[in-house]
Amino acid sequence: MQKRRLGKSGLEVSALGLGCMGMSFAYGPAGDKKEMISVIRSAVERGVTFFDTAEAYGPFINEELVGEALAPFRGQVVIATKFGFKFGPDGKQTGQDSRPEHIRQVAEASLKRLKVDAIDLFYQHRVDTSVPIEDVAGTVQELIKAGKVKHFGLSEAGVQTIRRAHAVQPVTALQSEYSLWWRRPEEEVLPALEELGIGLVPFSPLGRGFLTGAINEYTQFDKSDFRSSVPRFTPENRKANQTFVDLLAGMASEKKATPAQIALAWLLAQKPWIVPIPGTTKLSRLEENVRAAEVELTPSELLKIEDALSKISVRGARYTEELERRTGL
């Protein structure tokens, strides 16, 4: 697979990464551990070198899964993880916590769970308004100087936060939702990242599975599936948003590809420093996603997609109001 650099940092990764969250968290019951390890290792065999996890996924069990799966490939892969939440005895999130002492504690725990000597990319999971971002960036800088972290990242942060953090410790990558049906980063975030030389790592590049065409208005979600509470995934909104899938299906037919591959190829075509991290628990989907890196959309095809999208309005918010308040700060 082709490689890409995340901004000006020099961090080189595969053009597509693998988001591992759904293997343990958010999209229904956790997958079988042996099967998930097999999927992760199959990704390495297919050229994927960039893997995304977080202490919050599970919590903790996803980092352990990724650490075990990638143990044979130390030095060959890049693992990104995140800090910024606190948890109760039952494992449920009890709020945000990006205090310097907590960041240091999370780093030590993540190193052990991931079975690594240094965290390749350490993101603040969500902006914590109770802690100045300069303190967060400075703490990660200390961890970098200590050899425990290699690169600093932010997740779902707004432009002012990005600039303030970057002034203290250069930000290697911003992780943010970005896809054909969530394009708000184009307004302010992408121009700022280009100016500052920061890479973008889009999560949910396939619209949490919707853009693959595998979900429709009749799909039933497990009660533990995050999508069951998302406004955009109500049956009415899924029916209305089917237009997006129809658009992708038409282009896919012309290109002898799949809707998912077109959606990923579109993201890859936006900027050379964008590295999507589609997640999956299935080997067949992994293979499909990896092949998206081989799909090239011509300028005329990109214009055709742009023209079609300009006539479509997405229905439903991407998050509940409570979750949206944590983003873009």
Active site residues: 57
**Spatial separation of the C-alpha atoms in residues 150 and 119, rounded to whole Å:** 6
**Spatial separation of the C-alpha atoms in residues 210 and 208, rounded to whole Å:** 6
Residue 81 phi, psi (nearest 5): -140, 180
For 141, the 3-state DSSP assignment is helix
Contact between 179 and 265 (Cβ < 8 Å): no
Question: What is the secondary structure of 14-49 as a DSSP string?
Answer: ESS-EE-GGGTSSBSSPPPHHHHHHHHHHHHHTT--
DSSP lists the bridge partners of residue 50 as 78
Regarding beta strands 85-87 and 93-96, do their DSSP bridges make them parallel or antiparallel, or are they unpaired?
antiparallel
Residue 177 phi, psi (nearest 5): -65, 135
